[in-house]
């Protein structure tokens, strides 16, 4: 093992430890804000592992999209909701924990079997001088052109749907003349109730 391989192994160990620790923090943290911040640490650790695999474009996309967009959006959503409610465990918490542990152990065993059974070797050797960005661009516009265009159409439909939902055409138009009557006018209380309320107060006194 030369120096470069030793640095890669140590870097992978540090990134893997950060990834596992941050992932456990996301699940076990009592505060949802801390969980969101630790989720950003998970994304950054994954980006570092991509860099070790010479996937510079995927690492940059991981940081820009997941850390810079998705994680920030989650944090803004949490802070804007600002729901102050204490944690109250459900009666069937132990059963849920057991089921979650069974599913987690099953997924871990399945992924471990896949990692050990997969031959981790390059099937094709990239050309000299070609980076990952050039190879991804060539595959996007040759082999995966149809899925790439379908994904762009799907994102366009989602954006148009969000714009349509954000429009407020269903609200009635309020003119300046009707503003005092519709907004500032409060319903009057019936006089019978007002009189009954005053009589009750006098009796209490």
Whether 178 has a pLDDT exceeding 80, the answer reads no
H helices present in the chain, as ranges: 3-28, 32-52, 56-61, 72-81, 93-117, 132-140, 145-166, 176-182, 191-204
Q: Which residue in 83, 87, 98 sits closest to 29, CA to CA?
A: 87
pLDDT at 56: 81
Spell out the domain ranges in the chain.
7-84, 132-169
Give the Cα separation of 100 and 94 in Å (integer). Answer: 10
Q: What is the pLDDT of residues 8-47, one digit of tens each?
A: 888 999 999 999 999 999 888 888 888 888 999 999 999 9
pLDDT at 90: 67
Give the Cα separation of 65 and 31 in Å (integer). Answer: 24
Mean pLDDT of 106-132: 74
H helices present in 29-92, as ranges: 32-52, 56-61, 72-81
pLDDT at 110: 93
Fold entry, domain 7-84: 1.20.120
Query: What is the length of the chain?
Result: 205
Q: Give the three-state DSSP class for 92.
A: coil
Instruction: Give the pLDDT band of residue 82 (cuts 50, 70, 90).
Output: low
Cα 182 vs. chain centroid, distance in angstroms?
41
Mean pLDDT of 69-81: 79
Mean pLDDT of 118-146: 70
Burial of 71 (0-12, 13-18, 19+ CB in 10 A): buried
Give the Cα separation of 40 and 17 in Å (integer). Answer: 15
pLDDT at 22: 92
Mean pLDDT of 111-117: 89
Q: Which residue in 81, 41, 78 sits closest to 63, CA to CA?
A: 41
pLDDT at 16: 92
pLDDT at 184: 46
Q: Which residue in 164, 177, 189, 122 sits closest to 197, CA to CA?
A: 189
Half-sphere exposure of 136 (CA within 13 A, CB side): 10
What is the C-alpha radius of gyration for the chain, rounded to an integer number of angstroms? Answer: 29
Percent of the chain with pLDDT over 70: 68
């Amino acid at each position: 093992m030369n120096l470069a391989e030793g640095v890669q192994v140590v870097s992978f160990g540090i990134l893997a430890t950060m990834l596992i620790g941050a992932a456990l923090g996301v699940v076990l943290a009592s505060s949802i804000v801390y969980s969101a911040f630790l989720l950003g640490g998970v994304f950054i650790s994954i980006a570092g592992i991509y860099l070790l695999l010479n996937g510079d474009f995927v690492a940059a996309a991981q940081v820009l999209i997941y850390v810079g967009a998705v994680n920030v959006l989650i944090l803004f959503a949490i802070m804007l909701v600002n729901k102050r409610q204490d944690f109250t465990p459900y009666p069937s918490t132990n059963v849920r924990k057991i089921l979650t542990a069974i599913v987690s152990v099953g997924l871990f065993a399945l992924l471990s079997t896949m990692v050990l059974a997969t031959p981790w070797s390059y099937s094709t050797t990239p050309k000299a001088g070609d980076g990952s960005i050039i190879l991804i661009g060539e595959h996007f516009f040759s082999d995966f052109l149809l899925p790439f265009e379908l994904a762009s159409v799907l994102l366009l439909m989602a954006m148009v749907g969000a714009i349509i939902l954000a429009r407020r055409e269903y609200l009635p138009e309020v003119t300046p003349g009707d503003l005092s009557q519709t907004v500032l006018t409060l319903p009057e209380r019936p006089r019978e109730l007002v009189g009954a309320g005053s009589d009750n107060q006098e009796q209490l006194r």
